[in-house]
Amino acid sequence: MAVATYGSENAHTLSSTRGGSLQRPFQIVVMAADFLLILLSYAAGASLYGAAVASPNDGASVGAGLFVGVVFVAVAYFRDVYATHRLLNVVWQLRKAVLIWLTSLTVLAVAAFLLKSTDNLSRGTVIVFAVIGGLGLISLRFVWQAVFGTSFARSRLVDRKVILLSLKPLDFTSSRFKDLRRNGFDVMRHFVLGADRDDGHWERQIRDVIRQSRSADVDEYLLAIDWNELPMLRKLGPYLRAVPQPIRLLPDDPVADLVARPFLPVSGTVAVEIQRPPLTILERLQKRCLDVGVALFALVMLTPLLLTVAVLIKLDSPGNVIFRQSRRGFNGRPFEIWKFRTMTVCENGETIAQATKRDARVTKIGRFLRMTSIDELPQLWNVLRGDMSLVGPRPHALAHDNYYDELISKYVYRHHMKPGLTGWAQVNGFRGETPTIDLMEKRVEYDVWYVSNWSIWLDLKIMARTASAVMFQEAY
């Protein structure tokens, strides 16, 4: 049996002191710091805005800072932002902090509207508060990175001390193993059991593992198994029962994909879900409520812009303001999509050429509308009607659907969900023209992933990233 030490950090003598005993105080400190920073940010925002407009702050809406602080900490807690193994992942922390901060401010705005207390809430104070609080939370993440990045803190931020077992030597530079410690696993020892040994030898090995592991005071065991080693798992199982701690499987990609899928118990066996069904009734209700609420609010707020664009289109070139084109929606059902007209033609036949850079068909005002995606805003009406969703695979012209359906096997899977104003592919860089099959295949890959992994949180994340995508990605 080969015994390996996982990483230089574990070369020290194993101690029976449990790092986990200090995990909770670390979490409480971080949560309290976020909450206090938000309260101080609100106080600073109120003071600065009051001084700027020469108006004393009477504290009538001081509860807004308290409300946002509670919402932020609560959402962050349930999204594992305060998990000890997450504190050192600064990029992940920054992304989550910004998203949850925007969510908390949105909740404040909705609550103030529903409770009819907007008159007591200074808009200027909230804007200054949003900027100060956001910058403060971002800065605080770098502070935690510096504080908890010390060797003393790292040794106490570990969630679980584990023993790693495998049937062959492992490549610890692969993504499967290199982030174990970052995700809360402190691998104290690595044992290679060997797949070609007899039963008696395995029993002696397991006994040796238990003997050496007791001195490490480990929390659990990780078993690294590949797809071609699955038959050995059943053979190894009876010997591992001698281990009193939990044993977790650390599979390769094929096995991980299979065990991550939902399953349905069927008598003494299970039926594993290879393809998820359309959204459940509750999921459709969540998505529909988000669609209607945001689309209705956006249409009301953007009415002046929509009217201005309509006038500019009329003045720029002859023709209808709204361009209608047939598209396929959920389950392939046809619908008529609405867009501001940006071209001198209104193609809706069996052959439709995609817009290209410097396309002569695009009008002067149309070029600006396409670049800023303002031409897509009339689709908010499609969202209200139920033809589309705010987030989903972008619908293509019927001619393009028919063409790509023959070339890309997973293309039809996009119709398992309503098409969207924006989508996972768009915020990941696949927006605008797709002149090659490879680009369309990549877009379809992102769309299929979205359909298979949908959640209301994913929709909110995509909506938050859409503004950045519109600003920094080029479209024609």
Residue 11 lies in a domain: no
The answer to the question of residue 333 being in a domain is yes
Q: Which domain holds residue 140?
A: 20-152
**Predicted local distance difference test score (pLDDT) of residue 11:** 31
Query: Are 119 and 268 members of one domain?
Result: no
Sign of CA dihedral 255, 259, 264, 265: positive
Residues 15 and 324: their CA atoms lie apart, in Å, by 70
| pLDDT of res. 357 | 58
Of the candidates 111, 129, 152, which is a domain's last residue? 152
Q: Are residues 192 and 243 in the same domain?
A: yes
Pick from 227, 248, 272: which residue ends a domain?
272
Same-domain status, 142 and 266: no
Count structural domains, the chain: 3
Residues with pLDDT less than 70, the chain: 1-25, 54-62, 84-85, 116-121, 149-159, 175, 179, 181-184, 195-199, 215-216, 345-360, 432-435, 468-476
Q: Identify the three-state secondary structure at position 187.
A: strand
Are 326 and 320 in contact by the 8 Å Cβ rule? The answer is no
Question: Is residue 460 located within the same domain as residue 318?
Answer: yes
| Nearest alpha-carbon partner for 396 in 414, 371, 372, 416 | 414
Is 113 in the same domain as 172? no
185 lies in some domain: yes
Q: Is there a domain that residue 10 lies in?
A: no
Residue 181 and residue 141 share a domain: no
Q: DSSP string of 152-176?
A: HHHTTS--EEEEEEESS---TTSHH
Residue 249 lies in a domain: yes
Q: Is residue 459 located within the same domain as residue 313? A: yes
Tell me, yes or no, whether 263 and 317 share the same domain. no
Predicted pLDDT at 240: 78
pTM, whole model, 2 decimals?
Answer: 0.50
Asked whether residue 406 is domain-assigned, the answer is yes
Would you say residue 324 lies in a domain?
yes
Same domain? For 451 and 318 the reply is yes
Residues 163 and 99 in one domain: no
Do 303 and 393 fall within a single domain? yes
Q: What pLDDT sits at residue 157?
A: 55
The pLDDT assigned to 59 comes to 45
The dihedrals phi and psi of 163, each to the nearest 5 degrees, come to -105, 130
Report the CATH number at residue 264.
3.40.50
Is residue 244 situated within a structural domain?
Answer: yes
Q: Per this entry, what is the length of the chain? A: 476
The confidence score (pLDDT) of residue 420 equals 93
What does the angle CA 169 – CA 175 – CA 176 come to, to the nearest 5 degrees?
55
Model pLDDT, residue 5: 42
Angle at 377 between CA 372 and CA 382, to 5 degrees: 150
- Is residue 317 located within the same domain as residue 439? yes
pLDDT tens for each residue of 423-454 = 998 888 877 666 678 888 888 999 989 988 88
Domain end marker among 272, 291, 309: 272
